[in-house]
Amino acid sequence: MSTLWHGRFEGGPAEELMAFTVSLPFDSRLAADDLTGSRAHVRGLARAGILTEDECASVLSALDAVEVELRDETFVFVPSDEDIHTAVERRVTEIAGHAGAKLHTGRSRNDQVATDLRLFTKRELGVVIDKVISMQKVLLLRAQEVGEAAVPGYTHMQRAQPVLLAHHLLAHGWALSRDIDRLVDARRRLDVSPLGAGALAGSSLPLDPAATAADLGFAGVFENSLDAVSDRDFVAESLFDLALLGVHLSRLAEEIILWSTDEFGFLGLADAYSTGSSMLPQKKNPDIAELTRGKTGRLIGNLTGLLATLKALPLAYNRDLQEDKEPLFDSLDTVVLALGAMTGLLASSTFRLDAMAEAANAPTAAATDLAEWLVANGTPFRDAHAIVGALVRRSLDEGIALRDLVSASPELGPDAVFLVDPGVAVTRRTTPGGGGPQPVAAQLAAFSAQVDRDSARA
């Protein structure tokens, strides 16, 4: 077996070494970016006069041929192809001969693999951002469509104060908007080319890393070759952003699971986005939401795993860094699939507005409004809280309707009874950013503008 380093070594590699160290099974996913990086490198070599125009053309056309073979799946991998970079270079050399053997001049797999992975991540984060925007659009649409429907707002999973359903939906939307902000930011920071750093120290050849960076569409170029080949901050950041995005999806998923129970009855799941039971004929299960919740564990694991790999790693390249790819690929795939499924689930679910209204209109939902009504009439809040609290306790203990107790109360009286009427409490939330119709109308406009801004940044 002929390796890239066969000159220095007397024999071929052990079977166990190859079995343990190959990355081809997963890094073949970087093929397109490897070709892109190699094309820019070859053009750089030509500009530096290291390759003649003819040699450059012949290597570029060999790279084109490799692209076709990979696309048509006619590319024949050989046992010595330990990674996609080795495989491409081997094949280019077979096709372009002497000129092909010049492809790797002034380059190491260390700067090559870092370049490929940055190109890949830059593009794939864009795919995630687009998917998040699609989900935001569904949240916005559904929030617009449910108008002034109310739902109980919860703290401690106990009914607290009613809010508009739109307010609840948009709460998830704003979290997603911060995810987009983080992903855009991560993409901006990773937009630096490591190509030209060589194995670790640069080159004696007259290469121009800034020119290859520009050729590749990177916004900047490395300042330090040691850092360039060993920096995987962009992978760690991406994994964090994806994990937090997953955490946000899992919180929404958890509510979908709860809301679709018979106990809540707030949400009906569409047949196409739910599953049945192999044994229980009546079941309709929220598997998409459950897997979104469950797979978030992997997203967190991928992040902590990579951080553990990077911890205490000395400069510069170490083979440990090959462990960056699988968690990244897995987190990207997981999040993209979860976003697609959750967006469909959200778009197709039926809100049971009557059940929500009934829960939101329970008389005790107005307790805070009764206390605030007293405050508006001069009662200190602590006293108001105690007065209303005592009424609620009596109502529950003695089974007397709260409205009757409010009406008979010396502090509250008949003027305050309207607060207990169905649908009134939610309208009392008028402060900016609050859950009543007035602020939510403003919020819908603000969120819509935010989605437009996010789309423009994507």
Beta bridge partners of 153: 161
Residue 26 sits at the vertex; the CA angle it makes with 57 and 321, to the nearest 5 degrees, is 90
Q: How far is the CB of 320 from ligand ARG (least distance, A)?
A: 9
DSSP string, 12-80: PPPHHHHHHH--HHHHGGGHHHHHHHHHHHHHHHHHTTSS-HHHHHHHHHHHHHHHHHHHTT-----TT
| 320 contact partners, CB below 8 Å, separation of at least 6 | 309, 313
- Choose between 84 and 346: whose C-beta lies nearer to ligand ARG: 84
Instruction: Pick the closer one to ligand ARG by CB: 146 or 321.
Output: 321
| Gyration radius (Cα) of the chain, Å | 30
Catalytic residue among 28, 108, 177, 277: 277
Nearer to ligand ARG, 5 or 272 (CB): 5
> Exposed/middle/buried for 49, CB within 10 Å: 0-12, 13-18, 19+?
exposed
The Cα–Cα gap between 261 and 267 comes to 8
Structure tokens belonging to residue 180: 């987009």
38, 108, 156, 230: the catalytic one is 156
Q: Nearest to residue 268, comparing CAs of 355, 349, 346, 344?
A: 349
Residues that bind ligand ARG (CB under 6 A): 23, 27, 83, 109-110, 113, 317, 319, 321-322
For residue 193, indicate whether it is catalytic. Answer: no
Look at strands 192-193 and 158-164 and give their pairing.
unpaired
Rounded to a whole number of angstroms, the minimum distance from the CB of residue 310 to ligand ARG is: 13
Q: Which is nearer to ligand ARG, 27 or 215 (CB)?
A: 27
The single-letter code of the amino acid at 309 is T
Q: In whole angstroms, what is the distance from residue 406 CA to residue 413 CA?
A: 6
The DSSP secondary-structure symbol of 218 reads -
**Residue matched to tokens 């607060």:** 419
Q: How far is the CB of 75 from ligand ARG (least distance, A)?
A: 18
Q: Between 107 and 167, whose beta carbon lies closer to ligand ARG?
A: 107
**C-alpha span between 440 and 340 (Å, rounded):** 27
> Active-site residue 156, yes or no?
yes
Nearer to ligand ARG, 106 or 173 (CB): 106
Give catalytic residues, as residue numbers: 156, 277
